[in-house]
Amino acid sequence: MLSVEGLEVWFDVPGGELHAVQGVAFDLFPGERMGLVGESGCGKTTTILALMGLLPPSASVAGRVLLDGEDVLAKGEDSVSPHRWRDVAMVFQGAMNAFNPVKTVGSQIVEPMELHGVASGRAARNQAAELLEMVGISGSRADRYPHEFSGGMRQRAAIAMALACSPKVLLADEPTTALDVMVQAQILELLVRLTDDLGLAMILVTHDLPVVAQVCGRAAVMYAGKVAESGPIETLFHDPRHPYTRMLFQATPDLHGDDEVASIPGAPPRLDREVLGCPFHPRCDSAFSRCPVEEPRLREVGDNHTAACHLNDVPMQVAQ
């Protein structure tokens, strides 16, 4: 239903270009939940903003984003705007803190409906109340202000807002980051229930691979703007073919609610300069002579399973 092919995004930055997304490709099937995972700065948000046609003017984009076979990037804003919110909707990173403090939550859910001609007036207000009920908030709270909601409730309301125009695909960017563990679990449960009940496909973007494992059937792991590995969650867990995937599973997220994965030493490379060899090799516990000099290609390593790692080309004894 959604097919991303050779997606590239560059940002103009002082002194040159930053290549934030480098040949990303994946398919999303109807009703499917897929994770897009990787540490901060790997290009996850940029990827999904590109799908929505919401990148800033400093960005250039190449590649194709096919929605039911139609390339929504082909003619820029003209081709993407009919689909934005109506077919593909997004819960922005930090959405729960982005409500307008002087407008009621209900009126902010009504806004996208009126803007996109889905409903207006009383009908829209009724729908907003229904959407709130659907995400577990009493519809009577539609006339309350954001500060009267807890963080978890604001995140639920942000999800309701994304669903205002009945999209087929929901892109959820770090929807549980900065919430405490109990509330995180409730939001994940909500996303599973909503996608099941509405037949909605979802891309769950997070730095937390174990979170993806709870919710999604499949994931693409991103590193330094590229897909490092993708496959069914079970396969990624039991048979990871990229050391980054294995290390992400082993990494323990900071329990104090900080949004960073603490335990992989080092940091991803800067994307405003060219990276030689495998971008992960300086942090990799399995790197060998080929890794700093030759970039591994993403290739099939099993059923629906791709990875970009030289270890998949050499017999195990040699690699170890």
Ligand X SMILES: Nc1ncnc2c1ncn2[C@@H]1O[C@H](COP(=O)(O)OP(=O)(O)O)[C@@H](O)[C@H]1O
Q: Which residues bind Mg ion (CB under 5 A)?
A: 45, 93
Assess 301 for contact with ligand X (CB under 6 A).
no
Assess 110 for contact with ligand X (CB under 6 A).
no
Residue 46 partner contact from ligand X, Mg ion, none using kind-dependent CB cut-offs of 5 to 8 Å: ligand X
Compute the least distance from the CB of residue 271 to ligand X, in Å.
5
Cα–Cα distance measured from residue 319 to residue 226, given in angstroms and rounded to the nearest whole number: 23
Reduced to 3 states, what is the DSSP secondary structure of residue 160?
helix
User: Closest CB to ligand X among 88 and 128?
Assistant: 88
Stretch that binds ligand X, among 38-46, 147-155, 231-239, 289-297 (CB under 6 A): 38-46
Question: CA nearest 110: which of 132, 138, 134, 135?
Answer: 132
User: Closest CB to ligand X among 41 and 53?
Assistant: 41
How many amino acids of this chain bind ligand X (CB under 6 A)? Answer: 15
Compute the least distance from the CB of residue 40 to Mg ion, in Å.
7
The residue from 6, 30, 58, 273 that contacts ligand X (CB under 6 A) is 58
The residue from 2, 4, 7, 20 that contacts ligand X (CB under 6 A) is 20
Residues 232-291 that bind ligand X (CB under 6 A): 271
Which pair of structure tokens corresponds to residue 107?
């009126």
* Residue listed under structure tokens 């609610």: 257
User: Closest CB to ligand X among 168 and 226?
Assistant: 226
Compute the least distance from the CB of residue 249 to ligand X, in Å.
18
What contacts 11, CB < 8 A, 6 or more positions away?
A: 17, 18, 20, 56, 58, 59
How far is CA 187 from its chain centroid? 15
Distances (CA, A) of 131 to 93, 157, 162, 185: 20, 8, 10, 20
Residue 99 partner contact from Mg ion, ligand X, none using kind-dependent CB cut-offs of 5 to 8 Å: none
User: Closest CB to ligand X among 38 and 175?
Assistant: 38
User: Closest CB to Mg ion among 124 and 203?
Assistant: 203
Q: What is the DSSP string of 168-221?
A: SEEEEESTTTTS-HHHHHHHHHHHHHHHHHHT-EEEEEES-HHHHHHH-SEEEE
Assess 19 for contact with ligand X (CB under 6 A).
no
The residue from 44, 154, 226, 241 that contacts ligand X (CB under 6 A) is 44
Handedness of CA 312, 33, 1, 95 (dihedral sign): negative
Residue 38 partner contact from Mg ion, ligand X, none using kind-dependent CB cut-offs of 5 to 8 Å: ligand X
The residue from 2, 4, 10, 11 that contacts ligand X (CB under 6 A) is 11
The residue from 28, 34, 41, 208 that contacts ligand X (CB under 6 A) is 41
Assess 306 for contact with ligand X (CB under 6 A).
no
Burial class of residue 282, CB neighbours in 10 A (0-12, 13-18, 19+): middle
Cα–Cα distance measured from residue 200 to residue 168, given in angstroms and rounded to the nearest whole number: 5
Distances (CA, A) of 95 to 25, 30, 152, 290, 315: 26, 25, 11, 43, 47
User: Closest CB to Mg ion among 93 and 176?
Assistant: 93
Which pair of structure tokens corresponds to residue 295?
């970039």
Q: Are 85 and 93 in contact (CB under 8 A)?
A: no
Residues that bind ligand X (CB under 6 A): 11, 13, 18, 20, 38, 40-46, 56, 58, 271
